[in-house]
Amino acid sequence: MLESCSTEQVTAYKNKSGAQLWGENCIRCHNTPSPAAYNDTDWSTIGLHMRVRANLSKEQSEKIFDFIKSAN
């Protein structure tokens, strides 16, 4: 996916926080539930599913779900 991106675009993605990535990738398609709605195990399962659906890299997905779990 990132093969066609410039170095600046790749660096910009890598420098984004989980909160920023969550705002840009999750809420654009639907309202996300409260982090407290699920436990960490459930969020891990949701993370695997949404990583594929949202075409996220492993690093992006980990940042997003670390952010969600920290708010849980």
Residue 5 covered by a domain: no
SS3 letters across 1-69: CHHHCCHHHHHHHHCCCHHHHHHHHCCCCCCCCCHHHCCHHHHHHHHHHHHHHCCCCHHHHHHHHHHHH
Residue 2 covered by a domain: no
Residue 48 covered by a domain: yes
Q: Residues near 51 by Cβ (< 8 Å), separated by ≥ 6?
A: 58, 60, 61
Q: What is the pLDDT of residues 5-64, one digit of tens each?
A: 555 555 566 789 999 998 898 887 778 778 888 999 998 898 899 999 999 999 999 999
As for how many domains the chain has, the answer is 1
Does residue 18 contact residue 67 with C-beta atoms inside 8 Å? yes
Whole-model pTM: value is 0.72
Query: 66 lies in which domain range?
Result: 16-70
Stronger pLDDT, 25 or 1, i.e. the higher one: 25
